[in-house]
Amino acid sequence: MHNFGAKAHHTYQLIRSPQNNPTDERSRRLILTSLVSFISKGVSFLVLLVSVPLTLGYLGSTQFGLLNTITGIFGMLTYSDLGISMGVQNTLPDLVSKGDDQKVKEIISTAFFFLIGVSFVIAITSFGVIPYFDWTGIFNVKDKVDASLMFWTVWTSIFVVCIGIPAGLIQRIQSAYQQGYFSETFVTLGNIMSLVALVCVTQMHLSLAYIVFAMQGVLFLTMVFNFWYFTRFRPIYSAPTWSSFSINTLKRLITIGLSYLLLTISSVAVGAADNFIIARYIGVEAVTDYTIGFKLVSIFYMPVLIISLPFLASYNDAVARQDIVWVRLTILKYLKYITLGSMLGGIVLYFFGNDIIYLWTRHLPYTNIQLFSFCVLLIYLNINVFISMIALSPRHINLTLKIYPVAVLIALFLKVILIKNWNADFSIIVWPNLIILSLFYFLPISLNVFKKDFNYKSN
């Protein structure tokens, strides 16, 4: 008890004010971001508890499944930035440590105006193309849905994503400065405002397109405010200016970003494709069954997500400063927390999952096999988020580029084969992720981490 009190006091002293020692300052920002993220994810959890039964009760099973399928598929457009946002996050730390403010401003300005252009092209193109597709057939909607409703729902989903493409750059910038706690604060505000907007939409009996804007658009608008506020009123952030835009910098960012684009598309595809595969081969109603279970899994997944997301920026900083001792100790701590979180979450999910879901949504109970599959999904998500934080670093990115897209393609191929031949149950779709990615992604990256970070000989 005394040791716990001493550690708590040390942590409090560490985070209360900036530290002169780079190692202590890195730990301070990592802990502070994790604490704020814990609060943010707690709010997200409460919003999820309210929004799922509210939306499901308002829309019904078919439109609820359609909502999650559309937002999942077109949410992939967030990553049409050619990986530039991720490139900015991994490029800035070295420049910030060198104090090269002019280059920082050039990179931020170039990335921002390029992303504005990408969003504009996507929005205009989609408005002209969407009417020519049979969306009810594509999403295998068995109930009759008005064509105009489908058009505005799809276009709204694309439009709000176009808002988020340039606005989301601020989160990457703040992560690069190891100040993710600012981003999480605005995400918390956005989630609260989204819930308020969702309640208003349901009370006013508005259509599915308004539901999409309430759930996604409001959150992206808070990112816009975050960008405006910090680039205007925070002196360490460089506001984008057209005069700082550089074609040469854009070429370098695209070269770096294309690597991350491939990985990002692969990452999104392996998850977002699930809803589309289920809808296509079983029916959009089955997406509702899968989505409700997935959202429950995401609640148990939040603790590991909270502590893992800030790790990449801190890891990059530690490697740049050759603080390998910090890297080793921190990785071991993370592995301990992830193992504990997976075990406790899996036990609760398997034995009490049906009770929680019934109290939450009045949804019919899942079979033991389906519950066990959701436990497998939880384990996969916990492992994946931490491994990915390391795999995306410049230290391991070359290996990741070689193995991850191949592993994803194999997993997607198996998902289609399995769900097409055994389409009576959606639960089988989670197994290819764990098995294939464990063999062809998690294991090679783990061995590379052991080789580079645990057998590293400092000078």
pLDDT tens, 249-266? 888 888 888 877 777 778
For residues 309 and 388, what is the distance between their CA atoms, to the nearest angstrom? 9
Token pair in block for residue 65: 């499944």
Please report which residue ranges of 99-246 form alpha helices under DSSP H. 101-129, 135-138, 147-167, 169-176, 180-203, 208-212, 218-233
3-state secondary structure at position 444: helix
Look at residue 115 in the predicted model and tell me its pLDDT: 92
Look at residue 69 in the predicted model and tell me its pLDDT: 79
Amino acid (one-letter) located at 427: S
Cβ-based neighbours of 298, under 8 Å, separated by 6 or more: 48, 381
Token pair in block for residue 104: 């920082």
% residues pLDDT > 90 (the chain):
8
For residues 320 and 322, what is the distance between their CA atoms, to the nearest angstrom? 5
For residues 404 and 391, what is the distance between their CA atoms, to the nearest angstrom? 10
Token pair in block for residue 332: 């071991």
For residues 226 and 40, what is the distance between their CA atoms, to the nearest angstrom? 15
For residues 437 and 431, what is the distance between their CA atoms, to the nearest angstrom? 10
Residue 82 dihedral angles phi and psi, to the nearest 5°: 60, 25
Taking CB atoms within 8 Å and a gap of at least 24, the contacts of 209-212 are 209/149, 209/152, 209/153, 209/155, 209/156, 210/156, 211/55, 211/58, 211/59, 211/67, 212/67, 212/70, 212/71, 212/153, 212/156, 212/157, 212/160
Counting as low any pLDDT under 70, the low residues of the chain are 1-25, 27, 79, 142-145, 235-238, 423-424, 455-459
Look at residue 459 in the predicted model and tell me its pLDDT: 40
Look at residue 61 in the predicted model and tell me its pLDDT: 78
Cβ-based neighbours of 58, under 8 Å, separated by 6 or more: 202, 211
Look at residue 10 in the predicted model and tell me its pLDDT: 47
- Cα–Cα distances in angstroms (integers) from residue 208 to residues 54, 72, 156, 183, 456, in the given order: 13, 15, 10, 28, 54
Cβ-based neighbours of 19, under 8 Å, separated by 6 or more: 25, 28
User: What does pTM read for this prediction?
Assistant: 0.67
State the virtual CA torsion across 166, 168, 169, 173 in degrees, nearest 10.
160
Helix (H) or strand (E) holding 142: none
Among the listed residues 172, 173, 174, 178, the one whose alpha carbon sits nearest the alpha carbon of residue 32: 178
3-state secondary structure at position 364: coil
Does residue 80 contact residue 118 with C-beta atoms inside 8 Å? yes
Burial 109-133 (b: 16+ CB within 10 A, else e): bbbbbbbbebbeebbeebeeebeee
Look at residue 456 in the predicted model and tell me its pLDDT: 54
State the virtual CA torsion across 65, 68, 72, 73 in degrees, nearest 10.
40
Among the listed residues 401, 384, 397, the one whose alpha carbon sits nearest the alpha carbon of residue 443: 384
How many residues are listed for the chain in this entry?
Answer: 459
Cβ-based neighbours of 435, under 8 Å, separated by 6 or more: none
Does residue 127 contact residue 429 with C-beta atoms inside 8 Å? no
Look at residue 20 in the predicted model and tell me its pLDDT: 54
